[in-house]
Amino acid sequence: MEAEQDDVTDELPRWVQLAEVDNIRDLGGLPVRGGGTTRRGVVFRASTLQEATAQDVEVLLGRYGLRTVLDLRAPDEAACEGHGLLADTAVRRMNLPVSRVQALVTDAVPAMTEDDGDTTGFYLGLLDGSGDSLVAAARVVADTDHHAVVFHCAAGKDRTGVLAALLLDAVGVSATAIAADYALTAQRVVRLRARLTRFPSYRDLPAVEHAYMASEPGVMRRFLSTLHTAHGGAGRWLRDRGLTAAELARLKEVLVAPAQTRLGPTRPEPTCS
């Protein structure tokens, strides 16, 4: 049985419970260096939304105020699998494919060895090949007219994980917290695989036990380490690819909620006798 835990957040759960979307959670509630947390209700990461029920769609639009969906799948993949009931709503859908420089059909289901270092390398390949899409996604998230935003791929782990890591690192979330958030997908991997292998694009997904299906926090920590050593971190990476200083500042403003000042009971001043 997959345990439901949320170790890296404050007291409110971040999972969004939907009937037919397996892996969707709020990126709010994560601690930010220097104080505060990421804001709730702004941006959500998700697995494929194509089987969302009418009630699921109602929850997303009503309770969570969904306005924009960023689809990180390849254009052919998105066309093959579709968007389900969300296609019939006023939600804005943007296809921002995340892939390697030489995009392969297998980017949706990449071939992996048992060495999880290949997963880190795969993520770095996605970063190298997707500058335009990732910068565009950051711009959307920084624009409150688009909120709330959901971004997704298929499992909501790899392409989605790269974008989540980039956004969170850019606003000051620690590598430890980012890796812990990434690892939460492991709680949903059994049901994710069962759903995805019914779809044409993902029939060749490996078994749950395979390294590719894991969400090991070490994979994400290594990815972030290279992001910093090779590129100076997510903020610098985004700036080098066209995000302006004002846009980066706006991204931080909309994603970070300042720390709340907790006031205790006041004590009367002592009086002199």
Predicted pLDDT of residue 158: 95
- Look-up: residue for tokens 């990732």? 134
On whether residue 9 sits in a domain, the answer given is no
Query: Any idea which of 84-98, 125-139, 196-210 has the lowest mean pLDDT?
Result: 196-210
On whether residue 7 sits in a domain, the answer given is no
> For residue 128, what are the domain limits?
24-257
Predicted pLDDT of residue 107: 53
On whether residue 271 sits in a domain, the answer given is no
Predicted pLDDT of residue 11: 43
Q: Which of 37, 48, 35 is nearest to 14 (CA)?
A: 37
Predicted pLDDT of residue 145: 97
The per-residue pLDDT for range 6-18, each reduced to its tens digit, is 444 444 568 999 9
Q: Would you state the structure tokens that stand for residue 31, as one six-digit string?
A: 């601690």
Res. 265: pLDDT tops 80: no
Tell me, what CATH number does 129's domain have? 3.90.190.10
Decide: 129 and 158 in contact? Cβ < 8 Å. no
Average pLDDT over residues 236-258: 97
How far is the C-alpha of 66 from the C-alpha of 51, rounded, in Å?
A: 16
Percent of the chain with pLDDT over 90: 77
Q: What is the DSSP letter of 245?
A: H
Predicted pLDDT of residue 13: 66
Average pLDDT over residues 107-130: 72
Query: What confidence category does residue 248 fall into, taking pLDDT thresholds of 50, 70 and 90?
Result: very high
How far is the C-alpha of 56 from the C-alpha of 185, rounded, in Å?
A: 19
On whether residue 19 sits in a domain, the answer given is no
Res. 63: pLDDT tops 60: yes
Query: What confidence category does residue 103 fall into, taking pLDDT thresholds of 50, 70 and 90?
Result: low
Res. 38: pLDDT tops 90: yes
Query: What confidence category does residue 233 fall into, taking pLDDT thresholds of 50, 70 and 90?
Result: very high
On whether residue 179 sits in a domain, the answer given is yes
Query: Any idea which of 11-15, 145-149, 255-259 has the lowest mean pLDDT?
Result: 11-15
Predicted pLDDT of residue 54: 98
43 versus 6: the higher-pLDDT residue is 43
Total structural domains in the chain? 1
On whether residue 184 sits in a domain, the answer given is yes
Alpha helices in the chain (DSSP H): 54-62, 75-81, 117-129, 131-142, 159-170, 175-183, 189-196, 217-231, 234-240, 245-255
Q: Which of 10, 30, 16, 66 is nearest to 182 (CA)?
A: 30
On whether residue 15 sits in a domain, the answer given is no
The per-residue pLDDT for range 48-58, each reduced to its tens digit, is 999 999 999 99
Angle at 86 between CA 81 and CA 92, to 5 degrees: 105
Predicted pLDDT of residue 14: 86
Query: What confidence category does residue 104 fall into, taking pLDDT thresholds of 50, 70 and 90?
Result: low
Decide: 30 and 39 in contact? Cβ < 8 Å. no
Res. 266: pLDDT tops 90: no
How far is the C-alpha of 180 from the C-alpha of 44, rounded, in Å?
A: 16
Average pLDDT over residues 147-166: 97
Q: Is 165 helix (H, G, I), strand (E, B) or coil?
A: helix
Res. 73: pLDDT tops 90: yes
How far is the C-alpha of 262 from the C-alpha of 219, rounded, in Å?
A: 36
On whether residue 272 sits in a domain, the answer given is no
